[in-house]
Amino acid sequence: MEADYVVVGAGSGGCAMAYRLAEAGKRVIVIEHGGTDAGPFIQMPGALSYPMNMGIYDWGYQSEPEAHLGNRRLVTPRGKVIGGSSSINGMVFVRGHARDFDHWAEAGAAGWSYADVLPYFKRMETWHGGNGAANGFRGTSGPLHVTRGPRANPLFHAFVEAGREAGYEVTDDYNGEKQEGFGPMEATIFKGRRWSAANAYLRPALKRENCTIVRALALKVVIRDGRAVGVEVERGGKVEVIGARAEVILAASSINTPKLLMLSGIGAAAHLAEHGIGVVADRPGVGANLQDHLEIYMQYASKKPITLYKYWNLMGKAMVGAQWLFTGTGLGASNQFESCAFIRSDKGVDYPDIQYHFLPIAVRYDGKAAAEGHGFQAHVGPMRSKSRGAVTLASADPKAAPLIRFNYMSHPDDWAEFRKCVRLTREIFAQEAFKPFVKHEIQPGAGCGTDAEIDSFIREHAESAYHPCGTARMGRRDDPMAVVDPECRVIGVDGLRVADSSVFPRITNGNLNAPSIMVGEKAADHVLGRGMLAPANSEPWMSPRWSVAQR
């Protein structure tokens, strides 16, 4: 089997890449180890807590014991299914802040500033949120549908109103000109279904004769005379090579991409030698620079029985599921993240560094509801932790899970930032808008007030927001820790690129699905040797008072 381009991974970046290459007439083979994304657990937005806890759809990874979180091992879900993690995620759509991408460019990813990437964010989306396309920030004809929930529950409005009362900005489009503030949240949901990268990009691509998908486990990239010429895979118990006439593109996730690079001889020479792997390119940055977002769930008991708790029983779930199955509508058609906020933690912080997801039920990510009954919660956490971790090989066996060490909370600033998250959140829920609804704080709880008590709560309860990235970072070719250059080419090997969240120099503000798809879109133009889309000149909003005021 052979194609012009072999893409490893049918996730957010890989699906976008396959779509654009196939559209340009190139022959493309996509290799995906996971199976079908059919069925209500994935396609029904309201069922989002199920697929990431199901071994059939998830690689089942977890971190090594995290020293600063009481040696807990945190689950690290990555999609092992058509659509990758876009088929098991929370469907939240956040591009990131304009300054995130300007920082990328300053860090050596030339051509990836906000002005450079905005045209790709616009190209990839069809926005259903309003008339923002008129102001140059939103797209209207892309494969990815971006919608907003109905916000029928009064709690969604109470959250935004409480933010306003506390003195924060309000924004009607955090993905447009102004990220900072409280407002409606956006999702990759269309006509009541999860609009994953598989639905948006891969299915249309597979309708073309020049794009096919192969179900197989990628073992390593085959490199001859310094050039990637194919991918060694195991399929049906047999090992074979799928040949690439032009290039191999890795889009296997920020966990599996560095693992594949290392298995292929690209990584820190000493680490590869430990596992008896011959060195093709000594790139110590492979697997390093691992970043993620941590969050805690601040939960409140509700005075009124208006939360989703009334459906949190067998009968309620059956009714919601039946309505969705037969009509594609109702609570099952939303991920329930319908209001959100991005705020700055302090004066002197130039753009938001705290994110809120608001949810009208007190529930854990694995679907276990709070024992208190009716309640609601805000997921909150800092956006730009200074902690860095690494993905390394546990063994040279491609079937062995890699070692994942996030090194969460290893920087002292992380603790100060998280304490601010707790205190600022309490202030928001103490506003007038929540007076009719807040009964009391479930967690952390009224008894958790001092720095030491808050730190203890974080140590025991902080969870990953599942935004790993940065493990094959983009930078200048002369940067010893960069893995790919600004055209996503692996430095030191010809014919090999990376097009997923591994290439992020620094984690972006918010959820990573949108920037991961953007990387696939933009990298495709680099692969095709086209000129880039013309830079945008839309000017993002920055608080004029950021240097002197927190809000």
Comparing CA positions, the residue from 500, 300, 451 lying closest to residue 380 is 300
Return the bridge partners of 240, or none.
233
**Which amino acid does the sequence have at 414?**
D
Please report, for residues 67, 343, 462, the alpha-carbon distance to residue 408 in angstroms, rounded to integers and kept in the order given. 8, 22, 10
Backbone angles phi, psi at 31, to 5 degrees: -100, 125
Q: Would you list the DSSP string of 293-345?
A: -EEEEEEEEESSS-SGGGG-SHHHHHHHHHHHHHHS-SGGGS-S--EEEEE-S
> Catalytic one among 103, 374, 379, 467?
467
CA distance 146 to 126: 6
Return the bridge partners of 232, or none.
220, 241
Please report, for residues 314, 330, 466, 511, the alpha-carbon distance to residue 144 in angstroms, rounded to integers and kept in the order given. 33, 22, 21, 16
**Of how many residues is the chain composed?**
551
CA 15 to centroid of chain Cα atoms: 15
Angle in degrees, CA 89, 95, 101, rounded to 5? 130
Q: Which two tokens stand for residue 359?
A: 């949810």
CA distance 319 to 331: 10
Residue 29, classified by CB atoms within 10 Å of its CB into exposed (0-12), middle (13-18) or buried (19+), is: buried
Q: Check if 467 is active-site.
A: yes
First to last CA, the chain: 58
Let me know: does 64 contact 478? Beta carbons within 8 Å. no
CA distance 458 to 206: 45
Let me know: does 497 contact 527? Beta carbons within 8 Å. yes
Backbone angles phi, psi at 418, to 5 degrees: -70, -40
Residue 266, classified by CB atoms within 10 Å of its CB into exposed (0-12), middle (13-18) or buried (19+), is: buried
CA distance 550 to 534: 35
| Catalytic residue positions, numbered | 467
